[in-house]
Amino acid sequence: MTGTGNVVLGIETSCDETAAAVVAGGRQVRSSVVSSQVDLHARFGGVVPEIASRAHVELLVPVVAEALVESGVEGPDVDAVAATYGPGLVGSLLVGLAGAKAMALVWDVPFVAVNHLEGHLYSAFLEDPTLEPPLVALLVSGGHTMLVFMEDYGRYRVLGSTVDDAAGEAFDKVARYLGLGYPGGPAIDRLAITGDPAAVDFPRAMLDAGYDFSFSGLKTAVVTYVRAHPDVPTEDVAASFQQAVVDVLVAKTRRAARETGVPTVCLGGGVAANSALREHFLDACTTDGLAGFLPSRSMCTDNAAMVAAAGWWRLQADGPSPLDTGAEPNLRLPVV
């Protein structure tokens, strides 16, 4: 369907994943390729911005080529090219943006600048054609933790967000302290399966106070507890920490659904790949009679299919973005 903006090539390079995807109509994923740089950064215990930018330069063209081949769509048959312009690491963002603009120019199709956070919100839409706003979305990633009331496509209200660490950041810091390596979320998730989530009663900060979150005290509580109890099994600490995070996330999402009166809730962002969060979220939806939508794990963590999806909706709403759109490292979710 050339010329309708139907087939969007998405590009995502905001952090340490180089990703490209082809998505039709904002929902049908034709291909989604993610090249993780995790091995390059692991020995530093976190993402090194300069290494990330250089790796994006090397990986962008092969990743885009693979996404096109897998989708069966030829480059010139793409109807629009969407790329993340923020938030994220400025050097990394610039690589994806420059590549996307060049491709849009060569193929003479619209370029669309996408907000990475909006991308995470659209990941749930990719996998269920029945999902429609209004809804409440819990967006939990390495850089952000927020509860969003999505009134309609492109119309958001942020109900609450973290006052200190993001949920993923807490997973990464606690994992690092426990010697579980980087990235910490998946490591804690795996280890917690063998631990007792009730072994240590870690604090549930701000549980009854509005929609904001705080995770930095929990991280300190873990460190203090392990210092005082050096023989505690690491799997029990991991499971108990994880349970404390999940309890707060699920409780606030339920309350947001109840107080806004929406029947639909969804998850997005890397932490939404967490097994315990997924299980407790779905249990809560069943108990409360809510329709709960969970993107598959690969669509929770950074990917370009969500960027293509959000780009498609943005193109319908606002048309193409100017080619002089720059990288915006501190970009926020646009709110009404």
Give the nearest distance from C-beta 275 to ligand KG4 in angstroms: 7
Give the nearest distance from C-beta 180 to ligand KG4 in angstroms: 10
With CA atoms as reference, report the closest residue to 253 among 171, 136, 151.
136
- Would you say 80 or 277 has its CB closer to ligand KG4? 277
Site for Zn ion in 158-187 (CB under 5 A): none
Cβ neighbors of 303 (< 8 A, separation 6 or more) are 12, 17, 19, 21, 32, 34, 123
Residue 270 touches ligand KG4, criterion: CB under 6 A:
yes
Please identify, among the stretches 42-50, 252-260, 264-272, 328-336, the one whose residues bind ligand KG4 according to the rule CB under 6 A.
264-272
Cβ neighbors of 205 (< 8 A, separation 6 or more) are 213, 214, 215, 217, 218, 248
Site for Zn ion in 288-307 (CB under 5 A): 302
| Binder among 37, 84, 141, 145 for ligand KG4 (CB under 6 A) | 141
Site for Zn ion in 102-141 (CB under 5 A): 141
With CA atoms as reference, report the closest residue to 291 among 252, 260, 256, 265.
265
Residue keyed to tokens 């963590």 = 301
| Binder among 85, 111, 171, 202 for ligand KG4 (CB under 6 A) | 171
Residue 274 touches Zn ion, criterion: CB under 5 A:
no
Cβ neighbors of 35 (< 8 A, separation 6 or more) are 17, 18, 19, 59, 62, 63
How many residues contact Zn ion, by CB under 5 A? 2
- Would you say 119 or 197 has its CB closer to Zn ion? 119
Give the nearest distance from C-beta 166 to ligand KG4 in angstroms: 7
Give counts: helices (H), strands (E), the chain.
11, 10
Q: From start to end of 80-224, where are the E strands?
A: 80-86, 111-115, 135-140, 145-152, 155-161
Residues that bind Zn ion (CB under 5 A): 141, 302
Residues that bind ligand KG4 (CB under 6 A): 15, 141-143, 168, 171-172, 183-186, 189, 269-271, 273-274, 301-302
